[in-house]
Amino acid sequence: MKTIFLFCAGVFLLILAILLGGKSFNRMKYKIRTKNGIQKSGYMRIGGIDQYYQIRGENIENPIILVIHGGPGNNMSDFSYCWQTDLEKEYTIVHWDQRGCGNTYYRDTQAERPSLELLLADLDEVVNYLRVDYHKEKLIIMGHSWGTFLGAIYAGKHPEKVSAYISVSQVLDFNQSERISAQEAVRLAKIAGKEQDIPKINDLLEQITTYQKIGKAEVKSLLEFRQLKEKYLPKQYGNKMILYRLFSPYMNLNEIRWMFSINKMLESNNKIYEMLMIDGRLSMYDYPLHYDIPVIMIIGNQDWTTPYSMALDYYQAISAPQKEFITIEGSGHLPFIDHSKEFSKVLEKALNKID
């Protein structure tokens, strides 16, 4: 018994040493060392509560890109270091943990829960905070997944504060996205000769597109549906994410707790999930299709979480002074993770074309 205990303790200490060593290595490797660079994280007073932010860039005089994470509730600040390094040469990149998410959630667990209106108001305060503190007339807004919904609405309403809108894996209509991805999964299941899974896919699709509330049972069926689809669909979230997060120099106790707190995430963002999933209350087609600023849309051609075909249709429907649609081949829902070098290169090239 003592031998087993010592063995387990040894394995635990070895794993801990590897994790701490990896974090320390990445902390030094990705440290901003330029004279005019900035690397900081902390809290800003937004919407009456402290909200977490992270800023990185090699020259604070560069334009600011404000990244709006997806989810709702899936913050991106802990793995920012692994994909945005090339962009940091020409841009200062800011991450913000939204109300009800990650570090912001744990700062004040009793804070008012997010709604669409409250998040848009918070976003406006974040933009104003950055404009004043860093002497910028306008920011570039970049949304990913759920963050594209907030970003698109905000960019459409505030061209006086936003110089360009970058959409990565644009959210348009939750229920329609699930229908399209289910159709593709069924098609691939037939090709694979696995027709026994098709009734289950269709049954779960019917369940999630007719939800009347979002609770633990509904989340369980949604996760089962996603897992069943992804037996046939291309991988959506890559194989690298868990390693990037575990070895992140920004990984802290709050981040670790949040990674394993799906119930807290759903509880704190329940209003948003209900608006997205029940009766399709939220759709980008309910908002104007004209932008007064340049729009860049980037999406993986294998994205079935926010299907590629839907993003392309939306791009063709919108009007803007300048617009560009960029496809990242062989990528799923996280093109900046799947192909980070290519993502940074094509994004910088697109931004350089803007007048």
Q: Among residues 253, 262, 224, which one has the least CA distance to residue 72?
A: 262
234, 304 in Cβ contact below 8 A? yes
Residue 22 within a domain: no
The Cα diameter of the chain in Å comes to 71
Q: What is the pLDDT of residue 279?
A: 61
The 10 Å Cβ neighbour count of residue 247 is 21
* 349: CB partners within 8 A, 6+ apart: none
Kindly state whether residue 231 falls inside one of the protein's structural domains.
no
β-strand partners of 65: 93, 140
Please tell me the predicted confidence (pLDDT) of residue 272.
87
Q: Does residue 275 fall inside a structural domain?
A: no
Total domains, the chain: 1
Read off the CATH number of the domain in which 328 is found.
3.40.50.1820
Q: What is the rounded CA–CA span in Å between residue 114 and residue 269?
A: 6
Cβ atoms of 204 and 231 within 8 Å: the answer is: no
Report if residue 42 sits inside a domain: yes
271 domain-assigned: no
**Up-side HSE of residue 6: CA atoms within 13 Å toward CB?**
3
279 occurs within a structural domain: no
Any domain includes 303: yes
What residue numbers bound the domain in which 316 lies?
36-173+284-353
Tens digits of pLDDT across the chain (355 residues): 667 656 566 666 667 677 777 777 877 878 899 999 999 999 999 999 999 999 999 999 999 999 999 989 889 888 888 899 999 999 999 999 999 999 999 999 999 999 999 999 999 999 999 999 999 999 999 999 999 999 999 999 999 999 999 999 999 998 899 999 999 999 999 999 988 999 999 999 998 888 877 777 887 888 888 889 988 998 888 667 778 888 888 888 888 888 887 778 888 888 888 888 876 567 899 999 999 999 999 999 999 999 999 999 999 999 999 999 999 999 999 999 999 999 999 999 999 999 7
| pTM of the shown model | 0.92
What is the torsional sign of CA 274, 177, 148, 284?
Answer: negative
- CA pair distance 57, 92, nearest whole angstrom: 4
Q: CA-CA-CA-CA torsion for 64, 240, 13, 24, nearest 10 degrees? A: -30
Q: Is residue 232 part of a domain?
A: no
Cα separation of 153 and 287, whole Å?
7
